[in-house]
Structure 1
Amino acid sequence: MIRVWIPAERSPSERRVAATPDTTRRLGDKGCAVAIESGAGQQAGYGDDSFAASGAEILPAGAAEGWEQADVVLTVAPPRLEADGGPGHVERLRAGSLLMGLLEPYQNRPLIERLSSQGVSALALELLPRISRAQTMDALSSQANIAGYKAVLLAAAELDRFFPMLMTAAGTVQPAKVVVLGAGVAGLQAVATARRLGAVVKVSDVRPAAKEQVESLGARFIDPPERDAPGEAGGYAREAGLAFLEAQRQQLAVHLAEADAVITTALVPGRPAPLLITEQMLAVMRPGSVVVDLAVGQGGNVAGSQADTTVDIGGVRVIGAGQLPASVPQHASALYARNVSALLEQLLIDDLLTITPEDPLLDPCLITHAGTCRRLDLWPALVEVAA
């Protein structure tokens, strides 16, 4: 029987959990024995009793045996090594076990190397390929939907005016003007939410192909500069060159001068977020306007933005929103748990945990397996050493 362990998240800002009673029951029906750390789902609205009723074993908080006995460990955030102040749980994982979660592989080389040396397999959900077969497992998309939605609510709460047009006895209030930078999953959800609130929305994206999706939501698309447009690869935007970024900034400055709220969502996997809004561009925005930077965790799209902090820059409120999915923990956990469970179920064959590295679904996101790091390209320096 495959033993699945769901620990409590250790970061104070992480309120999600990697399983719910529903997915626990599903995994039990697949022949898994599921154990969960006491209190792991409390902040997401899932108590120990609901997990026990779904067939999970509840282990005491801090229990080391969950890690020691597990065949599979499901997490949200990457666990911390003891050398980095962690509780020493990672070091207890057995050779041949599997760790699945949002492992932040580009920033977590020590963790990946430790897992490899212990013979632990690691699946980083950030690297899951964007193919049809993987849609139900796409944790980045499910969490980005929440981030885009919540970003607009934050902007509306901070803005010094209404989002919708209102006709009152005292006169008509014109709708807010919102600019969304990036038309990926988070950006499109931000567009849809802002439109539902009654705002007039414009969207900028480096991919001309995004125009149809943007306009289908009732927003206006800002065509990207034609020079050196980066396009996309594997479902993600490529990194833009300096000439293109400068041309894009000049183009955006005109629209920012008219904006009441801006949502920035531009990310490039494994690279610092592109700086789309400089201090000079913030200076052209009216005092009282709001900018929500969803890319702050990778350096930010906005000059001066700070993670999980709101700063005032020349009268513009800049919100560094790096943990928005965790601020909606129940739905975020429910969606994430379904993603993780759907992927794990693909590996359960005849009551055995079967990992096939050559599987197109696993090949890009299986970072370590059988004592080997399979993705040296995540860190260019390692590639140079290996060569």
Structure 2
Amino acid sequence: MGTITVGAVRERAPGERRVALVPEAVTRLGQAGLDVLIEAGAGAGAWFADADYTAAGASVVSAGELCRRADAVLCVGPPDEETAGALRSGQTLIGLLAPLRHPGRVHDWAEHGVTAVSLDLLPRTLSRAQSMDALTSQASVAGYKAVLLAADSYDRFLPMLTTAAGTSKPAAVLVLGAGVAGLQAIATARRLGAVVSAYDVRPASRGEVESLGARFLDLSAVSSGAGTGGYARELTEREQLAQQEALDAHIARSDIVITTAQVPGRKPPLLVTAQALERMRPGSVVVDMAASELGGNVELSKPDKTAVLYSGVTVIGAGNLPSAMATAASTAYARNIGALLTHLVRDGALTIDLADEIQAGVVITHNGQIVNPALSGGPS
């Protein structure tokens, strides 16, 4: 049995600074018996030089050589057309591939015989999958960064401060969505001294919110939005309307609003309407962590854009905050990738076993077929 070779490609999406492997992960994979290739310049955006990878035991190669030699190609986001076109039958592609958003790519991978493994479909309720949970690791980074971004744009103090010049009251922060990103945002805002409230459609999140010292908002007009697999479900149109009406008053009283609500493969729910923004005080800040090409939680937000609206409300579309903390995000992601590779390697070979609960969740194409039951639509 030959040695397994894995290779991390350079991310080519605009603004993406992360990398699938960091030097410390290369060392661990080498100790596990894997050969590691790194595309030249892949780690530059996260401040990892090619020399760092070489010192850790990797071979730095061109994109073409990597795709020729690697048994498994590792990425953060879906590969660009050129990289995807270089993949060969029998090769494995591992990353956050967003298959629910891009079904056309899934059909292409199946047609070309590529085994595609997407970490964003990991069954998050399985305790043995926690070390592979890239969505959680990246959401934690994003929640932390969102608060820092909001604080930087907010022209007042977050904590209560008493000085010779008088006392400033603490900022009122509202976090919408109490998943991993939301809980990290709550914890970070609390550490900075803000008074924090939070809301989530899943009633079970109340305990987690309150354990962090935040107040959980009760919106009696909205029923439970708990879904399967640890995710929130998509609310009906009537539920969304009731939710918006109940939230508007709380939003108007907040100095900072951070929205984190997403539904896998669907348009994010609208939580902050234009009318709600118009009612906010001048100097308020809204950070939309769900901003994407599909839309966002905030009606007037745009991906990667900051705008000052109405009488002075700053709206920040921040859909890829992990990239803004590329070193920390890449380090966490590389550990997730390493844990998954360890799970896939059996007896010195990459082994696909769809009877395994973890693999049944993350493997989307294999042997020329779409094998994941979550993917049944036609090409996009």
TM-score by length of 1: 0.94
- Specify the alignment match of 2:258 in structure 1: 263
Map of 2:368 onto structure 1: 371
Paired AA for residue 153 in structure 1: L
1:330 partner letter: T
- CA displacement at 1:262 relative to structure 2: 0.1
Root-mean-square deviation over aligned CA pairs: 1.3
The residue that corresponds to 1:310 in the other structure is 306
Secondary structure in 2 matching 1:364: helix
Name 1:69's counterpart in structure 2: 69
Residue 229 of structure 2 corresponds to residue 234 of structure 1: yes
1:47 maps to 49
In 2, the alpha carbon distance for the partners of 1:12 and 1:227 equals 38
- Residues 1:205 and 2:207 are matched in the alignment: no
Distance in 2 between residues matched to 1:8 and 1:32, nearest whole Å: 19
Residue 154 of structure 2 corresponds to residue 159 of structure 1: yes
How far did 1:375 drift?
A: 3.1
Deviation at 1:183, TM superposition (A): 0.3
Deviation track 1:76-101 (CA, whole Å, cap 9, x = no partner) reads 111122xxxxxx23222221111000
Hey, what's the Cα distance between the residues in 2 that align with 1:379 and 1:167?
Answer: 59
| Amino acid in structure 2 at the alignment position of 1:143 | Q
Alpha-carbon distance between aligned partners in 1 of 2:245 and 2:252, rounded to the nearest angstrom: 12
Cα displacement (A) at 1:258 = 1.1
- Partner-residue secondary structure (3-state), 1:12: coil
Deviates more, 1:128-137 or 1:29-38: 29-38
Deviations for 1:194-226, whole angstroms, at most 9, x for unmatched residues?
000100000011111111110110000002335
Per the alignment, residue 102 of structure 2 pairs with 108
* Selected match of 2:19 from 3, 11, 17: 17
* Match in the other structure for 1:354: 351
Residues 1:120 and 2:133 are matched in the alignment: no
| One-letter identity of the residue aligned with 1:311 | A
| Cα distance in 1 between the residues matched to 2:223 and 2:173 | 26
Bigger shift: 300-309 or 355-364? 355-364
Equivalent residues in 2 for 1:181-260, closer than 5 Å: 181-260=176-255
Whether contact under 8 Å (1:163, 1:175) holds in the other structure is: yes
Tell me, in whole angstroms, the C-alpha distance in 2 between the residues paired with 1:7 and 1:223. Answer: 46
Cα distance change of structure 1 residues 227 and 293 upon mapping to structure 2, 3 Å threshold: closer
SS of the residue 1:255 aligns to: helix
Give me the whole-angstrom Cα distance separating, in 1, the residues matched to 2:179 and 2:374: 25
**How many Å separate the matches in 2 of 1:202 and 1:110?**
40
Shift of 1:112: 1.3
CA deviations on 1:221-266 (whole Å, 9 max, x unpaired) are 0023354332231100111122222221122111112110000001
Q: Does 1:180 align with 2:175?
A: yes
How many Å separate the matches in 1 of 2:101 and 2:181? 22
In structure 1, how many angstroms separate the alpha carbons of the residues matched to 2:213 and 2:323? 29
Question: In the alignment, which residue of structure 1 is the partner of 2:338?
Answer: 341
Identity of paired residues, percent? 52
Once the two structures are overlaid, the 10-residue window that deviates more, 168-177 or 42-51, is 42-51
Preserved contact between residue 98 and residue 265 of structure 2 (Cα < 8 Å): no
Aligned mates of 1:230, 1:163 — CA distance in 2:
31
Aligned 1:87-106 pairs, distance under 5 A: 88-106=82-100
Q: 1:97 to 1:152 in 2, by over 3 A?
A: same
Give, in whole Å, the separation in 1 of the partners of 2:317 and 2:299.
11
Partner of 2:318: 321
The one-letter amino acid paired with 1:107 is R
CA contact (8 A) 1:165 1:172 kept: yes
Q: Structure 1, unaligned stretches of length 5 or more? A: 82-87, 383-387
Residue equivalent to 2:136: 141
- The residue aligned with 2:29 is 27
Unaligned runs of 5+ in 2: none
User: Distance in 2 between the 1:280 and 1:379 partners?
Assistant: 38
Q: Is the 8 A contact 1:182 1:265 kept in 2?
A: yes
